[in-house]
Each structure stands twice: as structure tokens, then as C-alpha cells.
Structure 1
Amino acid sequence: MSEQARRPLPHDFHPPVAAFTVVSDDVSEGAPLKEDQVFDGGNLSPHLRWEGFPEGTKSFAVSCYDPDAPTGSGFWHWTVFDIPASVTELPRGAGSGDFAGLPQGAVQVRNDYGTREFGGAAPPPGDGPHRYVFTVYAVDQEKLEADADSSPAVVGFNLRFHAIGRAQLIGTYENPAAG
């Protein structure tokens, strides 16, 4: 097992919650991301659709995290929350900086690129395959105790106490060494 495969996911440290299902027209479990989801290849958030979330869900949050980034703390590519419970799908490109694909009231915080949008995969050349963990959280309140100036860590802190369900989909991406 590679060192990267052993790196924990952010929710590995959270209490167990109900599992539900997330699927995508753009990301397949364990498969390489499409060029659209790469930083210099389109930079579009993927389509995501979820179902089977627990009763009592009042909103959703969505994140994309690379635990394999060579930072010591991973890399947050996307964090959005306060998605109304009536919304169970985000179209491709919903994470754009103009917020056009997000439902009314949803909040995006800065990613680790420093922008309030989806930031695509961009591992260093030759660093091996990275995992891109798309997680949908079912939340027990309509509004998470965070705002647009919060960091992904603050959002994660609040999700630790308010997530009642979680679904994940993991894609990969590798930037080969320059030859």
C-alpha cells in the first residue's frame, strides 16, 4: 500500500453517521477525473446527484478534498454548504465563481487556491496519483454555523457536530513527471 493510500480522509475523524449514495455523470469511483475537472483543463465542478439520505436532513454540504497533496494538511478544492434539503443534484459547473449553478442560499467558501469556487485537480508533476474525495453531507440544520468568510476547516468543524449522513465518491488524477 502506498503512503498516499494510507492518508486519512477528513471525515475519518468524525463520529459515524448514516451512509447514503452519491453518483455523478462526470466522476466514477476510483477512476481518473475527466479533463474538465482539472485546473488547467476546464476547472469545472462535476455533476453530483444523491439519494437515500437520512430522515431529518435539513440541508446539505458538498466538499472536494485531496488528502494526498504534499502539504501536510491536504488540499481543499471546493466547499459549499447551506444547500436546501429539496436540492439533491448539482449540475456540472455549479461550483463556478459566479454561483450560477448553485441554489439560492448556498454558500461557497474559499478553497486552498484562495477563490470561492471549485478548483480543479493539479497535483505536482511526478507526485503520483492523488485522490479527489467528493463528499455530500446531510445536515441536521438549515443553516450551518459558518459564513462565506469561514475556512473549509471551520465548515468541517461544524459538520462534525451537525452531519447526520455522509456519501462520498473518490476520483483520481495524476500529473506525470515531465520527460
Structure 2
Amino acid sequence: MNYIEYGLSCIFASAKGRDAKLFTKSPAFAQHATATIALSCPDAGLSGSQMHKELSAEGAGHFPTLQWPEASAETKQYLLISEDPDAPLPSPIIHGLYYGIPSSATGVSNADFEKAKEPYTLKGGFKYGKNRRGTVYIPPRPLLGHGPHRYFFTLIALNEVIDVSNLSELPTADEMAAAINGKVLGWGEWIGVYERKWE
């Protein structure tokens, strides 16, 4: 299987960098072209740092700890999305989508992403939307030999609570982009890098 995967990596070597289709490029961010929230990851270091094995599918697949400053008075809620624009597909892969994060939060850790009793609800007190597999989170696992992949973790501050009455039980990134249009106050981004090398 490794030979097949490596062969596919060679074929699709140039199929990377779908940055123009990242979540923050949707119309909801027309007035917010650049990040204004400082988002950090003590598990891995500065944005652009290599993610260690425990944060990947080859290890425990933990969700990285993320931290940010206290919210402004205008912030009513947060949205968090994780995506990989370097997969050999037309659009970035959605690894995780989380909404209803309270404005009192100043970070998340792996324990927050365990399922709670209520449907599509997590122990961190927020809900999750649809990723590529319909799971809570897909840890990094780029194609073998496809080079470094960037995993964007983006936190969005909203000036209104999301109206869930117009959303699916497991909302997609497209649904969420429409739901937050006109509600974005600002956003922050942390990028982790992971690569599976042929050895």
C-alpha cells in the first residue's frame, strides 16, 4: 500500500496550495482580510512549526491545544475550523468544524473534543459540524511522500450567536460560511505542518 500511496503522491505532486479556497476567503471575511486575533499553540510552537507525531494520525491524533486572548465586549461567540489546503483535491479538506464556543473561552485542549451525551455536542461545551469523514476531528495524515502539508486552525470571533435553526444537525463549512456572513468581528490563525516521508 505504501508503494501505491507514494506513486499517487508523485502523480499529484503539484496539486497543492488551495489557499484561495480557505474558509477565510469566503464573502463573510470581505471586511476582514487579515488576522487580528493572536492564536497560539503551546503543544507545537509558533505558527508554521512542525507538528509532532502525537498530534497526527500516526500517533494519538490529539487535537492541538490552542490559546487566545480574552474576548472583546462585542464578541458573543467563537467558531473554530481546521483545514488542509495542500491535499491533492480541488478544495481544502475540512478536518474539523466547531461552533457555539462561548465568548468566555480563552483556549481549547484535546479533552474538549471528546463527545458529550447530547448529539453533536462536545465536552468543551460546544458543537461540531461536518468534516470529510463525519467525525469530530481528522488528525493530520498527508499522502506518503507528498511533502509538507499545512494544517490551518482558524478561530473566528462573532458579534452574534449563530442561528442554528437554519443549519443542518451536522452543518457543513459552506452552511457555516453563510450563517456567519455579516457577523465576523475578527479572526486568528495558527498553522501546523506535518509530513510523511518515504524512508
Residue type of the partner of 1:149? L
More off after superposition, 129-138 vs 43-52: 43-52
1:166 counterpart residue number: 187
Superposed, 1:1-179 pairs within 5 Å as 4-5=16-17, 7-8=19-20, 9-13=22-26, 14-17=29-32, 19-28=36-45, 29-51=47-69, 53-98=71-116, 101-103=123-125, 106-115=126-135, 117-145=136-164, 146-177=167-198, 179=199
Query: Unpaired runs of 5+ in structure 1?
Result: none
More off after superposition, 139-148 vs 15-24: 139-148
Higher strand share: 1
Q: Give the SS at the match of 1:65.
A: strand
Higher helix share: 2
Q: Give the SS at the match of 1:40.
A: coil
Contact kept, 8 Å, 1:125 with 1:175, in 2: the verdict is yes
Number of equivalenced pairs: 174
Q: Deviations over 1:53-84 (max 9, x none)?
A: 54411000111110111111110111101111
More off after superposition, 37-46 vs 65-74: 37-46
Q: In 2, distance between residues paired with 1:27 and 1:123? A: 18
Q: TM-score, normalised by structure 2?
A: 0.77
Q: Quickly say closer, same or farther: Cα 1:148–1:34, change in 2 above 3 A.
A: farther
Quote the offset at 1:148 in angstroms. Answer: 3.5
Q: In 2, distance between residues paired with 1:97 and 1:123? A: 25
Q: TM-score, normalised by structure 1?
A: 0.85
Which of 1 and 2 has greater Rg? 2
Query: Unpaired runs of 5+ in structure 2?
Result: 1-13
More off after superposition, 53-62 vs 167-176: 53-62
Q: Give the SS at the match of 2:174.
A: helix
